[in-house]
């Protein structure tokens, strides 16, 4: 098994390629943040139906992308990824998508949002073992600030939920954090094929879950032609292209910073809904949004600023 990428060291803000990686992750976050706007245009669909076809069209686009980039070497790129890495990334992507929908049926949206903000904390706790990166003081400060920011946004609608809902919701940020760290750990490989497998797995899983839990005769597959066209656009725009950017950004950006930048989705998602359908965010969304933006800036630039201060003191 090829795993030369495992011997990684902490990536600092001044490392070549770091700035490009940040821009790629920012681009990915902008794409992800369009989810709410797309969902507003499909009010008759539930999470199983959206997840099912969004995952399908995401993977179809990713597969086409891989064929265009690698041609007859496409299959070789799938086989080049170590099997454990492929299964973990694909599995956690599919599990995260499914668990998110499930958690929303068991606990309030605000509760799920606050718990979802724990992904940088999970990344910080697990990264020394999974990616051999030790988060800095600035990273920990930024992670805590981000959780506070999301808490402010969700406070008005916060509900305790039940223990099962909370436990399921906790698995969502854990899934995202593990997926992110595996992208970092195996950054010597193009991990887009693994995400592609995860999308097809989500298609089948959500299709079945839509029948079992959604009560649809055709499961999550049951959508109209008009809705299918919108989902065929949502898959590539809101998932495929962002995931390609995120996988490339993961090659040069530490896991904690990756998850923190991705949390800007919490700020951008209501912003697009505001512009697109006139859904005005609450005052708390602005306050919490500024806190999250501050946390992301600390994560991106904090290490460089601290190292300059130490140099001046020396």
Whether the Cβ atoms of residue 95 and residue 175 lie closer than 8 Å to each other: yes
Average confidence score pLDDT of the chain: 84
Give the pLDDT confidence of 145-185 residue by residue, as tens digits: 888 888 887 776 665 556 787 788 889 999 999 999 999 99
Find out whether 306 and 137 touch, Cβ atoms under 8 Å: yes
Q: How many CB atoms lie within 10 A of CB 261?
A: 26
Contact call for residues 85 and 194 (beta carbons, < 8 A): yes
Find the distance separating the first CA and the last CA of the chain, reported in whole Å. Answer: 45
68, part of any domain: yes
Q: Is residue 185 part of a domain?
A: yes
**Other beta carbons less than 10 A from residue 137's beta carbon:** 10
At residue 287, the 3 state secondary structure works out as helix
The DSSP output letter for 158 is: -
Q: Is residue 101 part of a domain?
A: yes
pTM (global) more than 0.85? no
Containing structural domain, residue 132? 15-306
Angle between helix 283-313 and helix 255-262 axes, rounded to 10 deg = 150
Q: How many domains does the chain have?
A: 1
Q: Is the pLDDT of residue 270 over 50?
A: yes
Does a structural domain hold residue 8?
Answer: no
Name the nearest CA neighbour of 203 among 32, 45, 96, 51.
51
Q: Which of 25, 11, 28 is nearest to 242 (CA)?
A: 28
Q: Is 2 a domain residue?
A: no
């Amino acid at each position: 098994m090829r795993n030369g990428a495992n011997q990684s060291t902490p990536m600092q803000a001044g490392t070549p390629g770091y700035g490009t990686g940040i821009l790629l992750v920012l681009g990915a976050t902008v794409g992800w943040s369009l989810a709410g706007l797309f969902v507003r245009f499909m009010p008759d669909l539930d999470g199983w139906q959206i997840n099912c076809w969004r995952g399908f069209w995401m993977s179809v686009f990713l597969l086409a992308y891989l064929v265009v980039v690698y041609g007859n070497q496409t299959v070789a790129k799938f086989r080049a990824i170590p099997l454990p890495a492929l299964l973990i990334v694909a599995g956690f992507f599919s599990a995260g998508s499914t668990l998110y929908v499930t958690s929303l049926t068991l606990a309030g949206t605000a509760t799920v949002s606050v718990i979802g903000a724990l992904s940088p904390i999970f990344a910080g706790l697990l990264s020394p073992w999974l990616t051999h990166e030790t988060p800095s003081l600035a990273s920990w400060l930024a992670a805590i600030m981000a959780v506070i920011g999301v808490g402010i946004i969700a406070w008005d609608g916060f509900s305790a939920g039940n223990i099962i809902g909370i436990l399921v919701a906790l698995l969502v940020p854990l899934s995202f954090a593990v997926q992110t760290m595996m992208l970092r750990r195996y950054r010597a490989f193009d991990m887009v094929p693994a995400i592609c497998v995860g999308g097809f797995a989500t298609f089948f899983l959500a299709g079945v879950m839509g029948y079992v839990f959604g009560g649809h005769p055709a499961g999550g597959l049951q959508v109209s032609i008009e809705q299918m066209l919108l989902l065929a656009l949502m898959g590539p725009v809101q998932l495929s292209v962002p995931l390609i950017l995120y996988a490339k950004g993961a090659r040069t950006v530490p896991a904690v910073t990756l998850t923190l930048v991705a949390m800007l989705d919490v700020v951008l998602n209501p912003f697009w809904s505001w512009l697109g359908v006139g859904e005005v965010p609450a005052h708390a969304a602005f306050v919490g949004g500024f806190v999250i933006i501050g946390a992301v800036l600390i994560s991106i630039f904090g290490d460089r600023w601290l190292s300059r201060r130490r140099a001046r003191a020396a």
